[in-house]
Each structure stands twice: as C-alpha cells, then as structure tokens.
Structure 1
Amino acid sequence: MKVHENNALGELASAVGKGLLAGLAGTVAITVSQMIEMKITGRGPSEAPVKVASEILGAAPANEGEKEKLGNEVHFAYGTSWGAVRGLLGLAGLKGIPATLVHFGAIWATELIMLPKYDAAPPVDEQEPKSLAIDALHHAVYAVATGLVYDALDSGSARQKKLTKLNKLIKGLKFKGY
C-alpha cells in the first residue's frame, strides 16, 4: 500500500485526533487543578457547565446526582473538544509556547464571554480579581498540559519533520547573512 505524502484530509484527521487526545489529557489536568484548589479554598464545584448546557439543550437535570453527572460530562466533552483547536493550531504550523498561548487565550476569552451570556457567571468587570486569577491559572494548566501532550504526539509526524527542516534552513540562511 502506497502512502500519499500530501494527504490533506489525512493530516487534518490526524491533527484533530491528536488534539482530542491532548484535550482529554488537559481536561484531566484542569480537573485535578480545580479539585486541589477547591480543597484549599473550600469552594464547591461550579454549576456553570450545567447552566450553559441546560440553556443550550433546554433540559435540566432531575436531581442533584444528575446535576453533578451532567456537569462532569459537559466539562469533559467541552475540554476534550477544545483539544481539536490545539490540533488545528499544530496543523497550521504553530507549536510549543506560541501555540499554547494562542490556545489559552482562545479558551479563556470564550469562557469570559460565554458564561455571562448564559447567566452562568458575572461579567468579567464584576468578578473579583482573585477568582479571575484562579480561573486563569486553571485554564493555563489546561492549555499547558494539552500543548505538551499534543506536541509529544505530533513530534514524529511527517509534517513536523518538514517544519524542522524548514526551520533549520531558515536558521542557516540567517547565519550566512541572508
């Protein structure tokens, strides 16, 4: 079986698949981060995932057990799906710290806009700086974990090897004075 070098659909599927796996790992990381923080601060679990899901889907959980289950399901589905975005950033050639910063910015900005829209959180200008800082920290944990896993999964890809060769060529040109 001959492998096609320039299979755009295959590269897209690969990047999204790696991104989803990385997003799952990032979701586990943010979950652990939140559990540690809740233990330290005494804060209870956020009801934001349930509020947004109930608003979008038009169905509310029947009891507290169902509420917690739905919250966890939404949390993991949302975090895992954001990993696909990290995959698309990688496919576009963005990797490492720059990709992690863009990913973090997209995720956190979306939350800061979306949650107030669905009355799941106050607008950013009405939130306490401490709670914003904690929230930013959790999302940074997610973005860093997702980025590290994605970059590790993508490190041996043909596209990554081409980017490495291109970077070496560019550095060589700069060294020669071009």
Structure 2
Amino acid sequence: MINNPLKELGTAIGVGLIAGLAGTAAITISQMIEMKITKRKGSDSPTKAVSKVLNVKPVNKEKKPKVIQEIHWTYGISWGVPRGLLSLAGLSGIPATAAHFAAVWGTELVMLPSLDVAPPVTEEAPEAIATDALHHAVYAITAGLVYDAIMNQE
C-alpha cells in the first residue's frame, strides 16, 4: 500500500474530532456530577475569554447558558485535533494521552489568567486545582481511549 500523507492527516484530524467529541461528553458528565455533589455553579470564564478574544457577547442574559455550552463543546471537540496530530508524530496510548492532557490543561492554566478571566493557578485552592485537573484528565483519557480504539480497528 502506498503511503498517502494527506489521507493520514485527514484521518488523524477526523478521528481526533470524534475523540474530542467523546472527551467533551465525558468532561461534561464529570463536571455535572461534581457540581451536583459540591453545589458549585458553572463557570462563565469561557464566555468571558471568547468575548475578549473575538469581541463578541451573548445577545442577552437568557442566551448566555446556551453560548457557554456552544463554546464548551466547540472548544472541547476542537482539542481532539491535536490528539490526532500526536499520533502522526508517533505517539499513542499513555504517552499521547499524557501529552494531550498537558496541552489541554496547560493551555487553560495559562490562557484564562492571561485574559484576566480566571485567577492564576497559584491563587486557587488546592481542592479547586485537583478538581479541575481531574476533569481534564477525564477528557484526555476518554479522548485517548476513543482515538486509539478507532485507529486500532482492523
């Protein structure tokens, strides 16, 4: 069989998007369970970040929860693409999942404070850091398992 780099890139991106969708579903469920247990309210940091970067806002307060969900799902699904690209770099399994986790969570830890929509991690309570890390681990592990399961089918 002839090596086709465009086909490999397209497959990695497409399967990555599917993995990102699965990861986003998993982190959503993880956050919903945690919020029900802890009584924590959802964050509006995603809307604030998008508002700053793209200069857009929800048209009214009633639309804000929908916009937050749209941002959450779009952002999470799109993070599946780097998971696919990691596979093109030769990473799979646990190393790819660890790198993906570091990229996803690391980006949040840098991006949100740099946009002044969340405090730096050094100002967060240890429990909040652990909870956030757990949710992002759920995302990365799910995305990695789904990606590898699809790519390892014969």
- TM-score tier by shorter-chain length is over 0.9
**1: CA distance, partners of 2:130 / 2:95:** 21
2:85 equivalent to 1:88: yes
* Separation in 1, partners of 2:99, 2:119: 24
| Partner residue, 1:107 | 104
| 1:142 partner letter | Y
- Relative contact order, higher structure (CA 8 A, sep 6+): 2
Query: Counterparts of 1:143 and 1:120 in 2: how far apart (Å)?
Result: 23
Which amino acid in the other structure matches residue 129 of structure 2? L
What TM-score, normalized by structure 2, do the two folds share? 0.96
Q: How far apart are the structure 1 equivalents of 2:12 and 2:57?
A: 34
Trace 1:1-178 onto structure 2 (pairs within 5 A).
5-156=2-153
Identity, in percent, stands at 58
Q: Cα offset for 1:63?
A: 2.2
Tell me the TM-score normalized by structure 1.
0.84
In the aligned structure 1, how far is the partner of 2:28 from the partner of 2:111? Answer: 20
Separation of aligned partners in 2, 1:84 and 1:12: 10
Number of aligned pairs? 154
Q: In structure 1, list runs of 5 or more residues that go unmatched.
A: 158-178
Q: Which amino acid aligns with 2:113?
A: P
| In 2, Cα distance between equivalents of 1:12 and 1:150 | 14
The 2-side partners of 1:84 and 1:5 are apart by 24
1:90-118 CA-partner distances (Å, limit 9, x unpaired): 12221111110010001111000000011
CA RMSD of aligned residues (A): 1.1
Which has the higher Rg, Structure 1 or Structure 2? 1
